Amino acid sequence: MWRFEEVQENTTLNTSGLIINNSCGKALDVPGATFETGKRIIQYEINRKFNQRWRFVKHNQGYLIQSVLNGYYLDIAGESR
Q: Which residues contact 72 (CB under 8 A, 6 or more apart)?
A: 37, 66
Instruction: Measure the CA–CA gap between 38 and 41, rounded to whole angstroms.
Output: 9
Which domains does the chain show, CATH number per domain?
2-73 (2.80.10.50)
Render pLDDT for 1-59 as a digit per residue (tens, 0 to 9). 999 998 877 565 557 999 999 999 999 999 999 999 988 999 999 999 999 999 999 99
Task: Look up residue 2 and give its amino acid.
Answer: W
Q: Which SS3 state, helix, strand or coil, does residue 73 take?
A: strand
Render pLDDT for 22-36 as a digit per residue (tens, 0 to 9). 999 999 999 999 999
Q: How confident is the model at residue 69 (pLDDT cuts 50, 70, 90)?
A: very high
Note the pTM of the prediction, 2 decimals. 0.86
Q: How confident is the model at residue 81 (pLDDT cuts 50, 70, 90)?
A: low
Instruction: Measure the CA–CA gap between 24 and 36, rounded to whole angstroms.
Output: 27
